[in-house]
Amino acid sequence: EAQVTQNPRYLITVTGKKLTVTCSQNMNHEYMSWYRQDPGLGLRQIYYSMNVEVTDKGDVPEGYKVSRKEKRNFPLILESPSPNQTSLYFCASTPGGTYGELFFGEGSRLTVL
Amino acid sequence: GENVEQHPSTLSVQEGDSAVIKCTYSDSASNYFPWYKQELGKGPQLIIDIRSNVGEKKDQRIAVTLNKTAKHFSLHITETQPEDSAVYFCAASRKTGANNLFFGTGTRLTVIP
C-alpha cells in the first residue's frame, strides 16, 4: 500500500530534550516536506527536500533540522524543543513534476512541557 | 510571498444542503489551486484541484471555481452528506513540488444529519 509513515504519532517531552520524528514513504517520490498545523494558522511548511542530500527552509524553519540521506526517509529533528513547538506535524511527499498531489502522513502530535 | 485567506473558519449545514468555502490569494503569478480534505485524526488528502487556464472544474458533488481577475477561488459541495464533515484547506502555488504550496487556514465543515 502506498503511504507516508510517521513515528511517533504522539509524544510528550520536556524542554531541551532532543527528539526526532521519522518519516518514510514507499512511493519513490522525489519531493518530501514537513508541515506544522496550528489552530487558526493552517499548514505551514517547515523544511522541504527536492531530492537526496538537497534540503531547504520553508516558512517556519527556526528550531528544526532535517536530513535526506535516503530517498525514502526525511526525519525532522528538534535539537532543543521548546513549548512553542507544541504542534501537530505532518510529513508529505509528492512525485514532483508540473502539478503533483501531496501525499500526507497521518500526523505526529507533539507536546513540549 | 503568497498569502492565502480562507473563509469561513467554521461552517454548519443541514444534510442535503450545499456548502461553499471561499479563498483569496495575493500572488497574481499563482497558477495552481488544490483543495485538501482532512478527516479527524488523518492527514490532508487532495480532493480536487484547478489550474489557472480553466474557470471551473467538477467532480461529482464537488466543484471548484476560479476567478483570476479577482484572485479568488471557491469550493462548492452539493447534496452534502455526514461524511463530508471534515476540515478543508485551500492552497495556491506558482508550481507544485514541496516548496511552493501555500495553504489557507482551514474551514471546519459540519454536516448535520
Phi, psi of B84, rounded to the nearest 5 degrees: -80, -10
Say whether B44 and A104 touch across the interface (CB within 8 A): yes
Which residues of chain A lie closer than 8 angstroms to B41, CB-CB? 106-107
Q: Which residues pair with A87 in a beta bridge?
A: A110
Give per-residue pLDDT as tens, A1-56.
889 999 999 999 999 999 999 999 999 999 999 999 999 899 999 999 988 999 99
Residue B99, Ramachandran bin (φ over 0: left; ψ between -120 and 50: alpha; else beta): alpha
Say whether A41 and B105 touch across the interface (CB within 8 A): yes
Q: How far is A15 from chain B (nearest CA, A)?
A: 26
Q: How far is A107 from chain B (nearest CA, A)?
A: 6
Give per-residue pLDDT as tens, A52-103.
999 999 989 999 999 999 999 999 999 999 999 999 999 999 887 656 789 9
Cα A15 to Cα A8, A56, A102: the distances in Å are 18, 25, 32
Phi, psi of A29, rounded to the nearest 5 degrees: -80, 145
Which among A4, A42, A94 has the least Cβ separation from residue B96? A94
Q: Does B53 touch chain A (CB under 8 A)?
A: no
C-alpha count within 13 angstroms, C-beta hemisphere, residue A52: 6
State how far the Cα of A100 lies from the Cα of A110, in Å rounded to an integer: 28
**Strand A54-57 to strand A4-7: parallel, antiparallel, or no bridges (unpaired)?**
unpaired
Which among A44, A90, A94 has the least Cβ separation from residue B97? A94
CB atoms within 10 A of CB B8: 12
Say whether B99 and A56 touch across the interface (CB within 8 A): yes
Q: How far is CA B55 from the centre of its chain?
A: 14
Residue whose C-alpha cell is 480562507: B6
Short-list B74, B91, B81, CA closest to B21: B74
Residue whose C-alpha cell is 487556464: B53
What lies within 8 Å, CB to CB, of B46 at 6+ separation is A101, A102, B34, B35, B36
Give per-residue pLDDT as tens, B39-92.
999 999 999 999 888 899 999 999 999 999 999 999 999 999 999 999 999 999
State how far the Cα of B63 lies from the Cα of B74, in Å rounded to an integer: 8
First to last CA, chain A: 36
Residue B95 has a pLDDT of: 65
Which among B95, B98, B106 has the least Cβ separation from residue A48? B98
State how far the Cα of A108 lies from the Cα of B84, in Å rounded to an integer: 24
Which residues of chain A lie closer than 8 angstroms to B1, CB-CB? 59
Say whether B51 and A99 touch across the interface (CB within 8 A): yes
Which among A58, A59, A102 has the least Cβ separation from residue B46? A102
Q: Does B94 touch chain A (CB under 8 A)?
A: no
Please name the helix (run of DSSP H) or strand (run of DSSP E) that holds residue B7, with its range, or none.
Answer: strand B4-7
